[in-house]
Chain A
């Protein structure tokens, strides 16, 4: 008997292609997607998007140039900072963002705006004060990796190749930047500094003493300034609230769309279309319902996030409302599109699981997109999870005004319209069969 039960299930599995797909293909597909994400198996290693700012003010400094001062001349300070920035620009781990419109010389404010708008993950503001480099890393703290990576690279750039050994060529008459050969030469003064620090360390002297003893080589001062997320209770709550909400919005929309197939299977659709109701009215009725349900569902979830996890929903109500409506509308259209694409509820079940999990994985509902390779991030833009999450990110994290949501709203509304039209076209076959 037990064997017969096993046999029956094996035979049923053999005849059910959707179950085959869900049992064997989908897990492998998802393993592969996540393996690509975490091993960067596809495309290139994700680069940190940086905005580089040379804060050494040439003109202001040049005014002081005549004054008796021990400090390095302003133009030389500017060149030193520029050397560090040039070196950072060559780093394989960074992608330098030029801003809009592309500008060669960003100032601190412009760079900060770029970070706030998500154009850059972090801005590096380099200056030369006294006898040492200072760097402010204007950080978006939602990316918990970027500041550490950039901090290390900036330190390396300041302490290594670009230290004042280059002073000679920089202060050379032509005021030209040093050649690559120059910047990568061993720096005897820096070596002396390192030896001195080592010696001080060995004699257990306070390090600060060594710095004062060697004013030409004070260590760089690097400060990470969280311009986004400062003071927020939990920086990732809004990210995950949006990610999970969008994913379940899609599942609910798909289930809601499945009602259409259920109605078709039990002839309710036949009966409905024999009344005064048209297919247009039926689809629009379902679309409005699913959109409304989606709005309520996401609102309940964010309210919970506010009550329990301290998310500031009420403070961002306008952006939240408009993003939620657009996302729910797109999800509703997606659910109806999938339903009209399929012939049976079984097909819909299989297809929706595959489609939604893939979209959620690529679109950032499961893993933040910033940890993905660039090619995966680009692929993610084909999912509206990514656009929805970017929108919520702008609202809750970057706290940008509603006007900044234009690209996200455009894509989501276009998806909502396009998928609804596609669903209507697919439903023609049920009208004329």
Chain B
């Protein structure tokens, strides 16, 4: 007998539109202009996985999170949570939500906030007490438990914001921009906290504009644009699907390229960009140990000297811009 583990979240052909501002009061909706936030989104978050859900502004990330958390009803499509299809009114006790804003009571203490949100998630008695103490330790704020949250730094507030969403030990955690506006130290601390949740088996879906975080901290990446998924997979898979895994080698020459005498470059067998008048030669190299010596040899053979060599690995940033373009979205 074969048992398959259902995905933590499975989204299939999810669609959601909003009436555009000024498009009327909803009467005669056939003719009212609609903004399509989700246009048939399909993806999966596997159990125990950390998935980055990326997209430019207006790509429908927040709408996606709201649909998953039950805060808005999709027009069509399905959402399954741990293999169970969910409706808007379905209980979501296995889900934790951490919004982008510091959604805390800043005029309460850390401990009071934790007790409040723990209670809202259905915890009570000794279990609530235990989870609050755990959260204080987890956030590194055990000694600041009785201080008002409003007096804390942005990083500390972010950590409490995160803790309030996981007190009930959800199996799936939705994080909307968890590290926005914090310093590198706090960001690192937040990802250490997320690692601890991952060790516990929590499946995490996060949205972020920090593409380096998505690349380095997440198992898989989904890139959405105009309400659709335009690419999904591991970073390497995305590279394969888009710009390829070749590294870009840029050699700075001692003089501008001449109009003639550049034939040695053609013998390297590399994809080169050589423009007379420019002082750089750019090449795409799949195996750097083989391609780079060959390129430097060709530079010497063409009577140029190498001033500097830059080897650039393809990043998620390049993949993202490749998929979504460079036009401003808002």
Interface residues of A (CB under 8 A from B): 266-268, 270-277, 432-433
Rounded to whole angstroms, the CA-CA distance of A273 and B73 in the bound complex is 14
Task: Check B73 against A267 for contact (C-beta < 8 Å).
Answer: no
In this complex, what residue of B is CB-closest to A263? B103
Interface flags for B116-129 (1: CB within 8 Å of A; 0: not) read 01001110000000
Contact of B99 among A270, A432, A433 (CB under 8 A): A270
| Residue of chain A at shortest CB distance from B96 | A274
Question: Which of A267, A275, A276 makes the CB contact (< 8 A) with B100?
Answer: A267
Are A276 and B93 within 8 A (Cβ)? yes
By the criterion CB–CB under 8 Å, are A274 and B97 in contact? Answer: yes
Asked if A268 and B120 sit within 8 Å, CB to CB, the answer is: no
Query: Is A277 in contact with B120, judged by CB distance below 8 angstroms?
Result: yes
Smallest CB-CB separation from A277: which chain B residue?
Answer: B120
Contact assessment for B69 and A274 in the assembled complex, using a CB-CB cutoff below 8 Å: yes
Q: Does residue B28 face the partner (Cβ distance < 8 Å to A)?
A: no
In the assembled complex, the Cα of A432 lies from the Cα of B93 at a distance in Å of: 19
Question: With the chains together, A271 CA to B66 CA distance in Å?
Answer: 10
Chain B min CB distance to A384 (Å): 30
Contacts A/B (CB < 8 Å), 22 sampled? A266-B101, A266-B103, A267-B100, A267-B101, A267-B103, A268-B101, A270-B97, A271-B98, A271-B99, A271-B103, A271-B117, A271-B165, A272-B120, A273-B71, A274-B69, A274-B71, A274-B92, A274-B97, A275-B117, A276-B93, A276-B121, A432-B73
Q: Mark B22-44, 1 if CB is under 8 A from A, else 0.
A: 00000000000000000000000
Q: Find the A residue at minimum CB distance from B117.
A: A275
The interface residues of chain B lying within 8 Å CB-to-CB of A272 are: 120
Q: Which of B93, B97, B122 contacts A271 (CB 8 A)?
A: B97
Distance in angstroms from B37 CB to nearest chain A CB is 12
Q: Compute how far the CA of A272 lies from the CA of B103 in the bound complex, rounded to whole angstroms.
A: 9
| Chain B residues near A (Cβ < 8 Å) | 66, 69-73, 91-93, 95, 97-105, 117, 120-122, 164-165
A276 contact set on B, CB distance < 8 A: 91, 93, 120-122
Distance between Cα atoms of A276 and B66 in the complex (Å): 15
What is the CA–CA distance of A271 and B100 in the complex, to the nearest angstrom? Answer: 10
Interchain CA distance A271-B103 in the complex, whole Å: 7
CB distance from A406 to the nearest CB of B (A): 40
Could you tell me if B122 and A267 are in contact, using CB atoms closer than 8 angstroms? no
Given contacts A268-B104, A270-B103, A432-B73, 15 further A-B contacts (CB under 8 A): A266-B101, A266-B102, A266-B103, A267-B103, A270-B97, A271-B117, A271-B165, A272-B120, A275-B117, A275-B122, A276-B120, A276-B121, A276-B122, A432-B72, A433-B71
Report Cα–Cα, A385/B97, bound state, in Å.
43
In the complex, what distance in Å separates the CA atom of A277 from the CA atom of B102?
A: 19
Q: How far is the CB of A316 from chain B (nearest CB, A)?
A: 37
The answer to whether B122 and A270 touch across the interface, beta carbons within 8 angstroms, is: no
Instruction: Say yes or no: B103 contacts A268, CB within 8 Å.
Output: yes
Q: A272–B73 Cα gap in the complex (Å)?
A: 17
Q: Which residue of B lies closest to A265 (CB)?
A: B101
Cα distance A196–B257 in the bound complex, in angstroms? 135
When distances are taken between beta carbons in the complex, the residues of chain A under 8 Å from B105 are: 268
Min CB distance B96 to A, Å, is 9
Give the shortest distance, in Å, between A214 (CB) and chain B (any CB).
Answer: 81
Name the residue of chain B whose CB is nearest to the CB of A259: B105
Q: A428 → chain B, closest Cβ, in Å?
A: 13
Residues of B within 8 A of A274 (CB): 69-71, 92, 95, 97
Report B-chain residues with C-beta under 8 Å of the C-beta of A273.
71
CB-CB < 8 A to B98: which residues of A?
271
Taking the closest CB of chain A, its distance from the CB of B23, in whole angstroms, is 15
**Least CB separation from A271: chain B residue:** B103
Which residue of the partner chain B has the closest CB to A278? B89
Question: Which residues of chain A are near B91, meaning CB under 8 Å?
Answer: 276
Q: Within the complex, what minimum Cβ distance (angstroms) separates B67 from chain A?
A: 12
Q: Please measure, in the bound complex, the distance between the C-alpha atom of A196 and the C-alpha atom of B70, giving whole angstroms.
A: 95
Q: Which residue of A lies closest to B69 (CB)?
A: A274
The CA of A274 and the CA of B103, in the complex, are separated in Å by: 12
B120: which A residues are within 8 A, CB to CB? Answer: 272, 275-277
What residues of chain A lie closer than 8 Å to B95, measured between beta carbons? 274
Bound Cα distance A275, B117 (Å):
8
Minimal beta-carbon separation of A431 from chain B (angstroms)? 8
B residues in contact with A271, CB < 8 Å: 97-99, 103, 117, 164-165
With a 10 A CB-CB cut-off, give which of A272, A273, A275, A433 has the most chain B CB atoms: A275
The residues of A that contact B71 with a CB separation of less than 8 Å are 270, 273-274, 433
Q: How far is the CB of B60 from chain A (nearest CB, A)?
A: 15
User: Whose C-beta in chain A lies nearest to the C-beta of B89?
Assistant: A278
For B102, what are the chain A residues with a Cβ–Cβ distance below 8 Å? 266
- Inside 8 A of A267's CB, which chain B residues have their CB? 99-101, 103
Closest A residue to B93 by CB, please name it.
A276
> Which residues of the other chain, A, contact B69 by a CB distance below 8 angstroms?
274
Q: How far is the CA of A272 from the CA of B165 in the complex (A)?
A: 10
B2 smallest CB distance to A (angstroms) = 35
A433 to B73, CA, bound (A): 9
A268 to B98, CA, bound (A): 10
Residue on B with the closest CB to A282?
Answer: B120
Min CB gap B25→A, angstroms: 12
A276 CA to B170 CA, complexed, in Å: 13
Q: Which 7 A-B pairs have the closest CB atoms?
A: A275-B120, A267-B101, A267-B99, A268-B103, A271-B103, A274-B97, A267-B103
Q: Which residue of A lies closest to B88 (CB)?
A: A432
B155 to chain A minimum Cβ distance, whole angstroms, is: 18
Question: Closest CB of chain B to A70's CB: distance in Å?
Answer: 85
CA distance A173 to B97 in the complex (A): 97
Q: Which of A266, A268, A277, A433 is close to B72, meaning CB atoms less than 8 Å apart?
A: A433
Residue numbers in A under 8 Å from B66 (CB-CB) = 270
* Contact partners of A268 in chain B: CB under 8 A: 101, 103-105
Q: For the complex, what is the distance from the CA of A271 to the CA of B120, rounded to whole Å?
A: 10
CB distance from A86 to the nearest CB of B (A): 61
Q: How close is A52's CB to chain B, nearest CB, in angstroms? A: 58
Task: Report B159 CB to chain A, min CB distance, Å.
Answer: 16
Question: In this complex, what residue of A is CB-closest to B98?
Answer: A271
Residues of chain B with a CB closer than 8 A to A266's CB: 101-103
CB distance from B127 to the nearest CB of A (A): 14
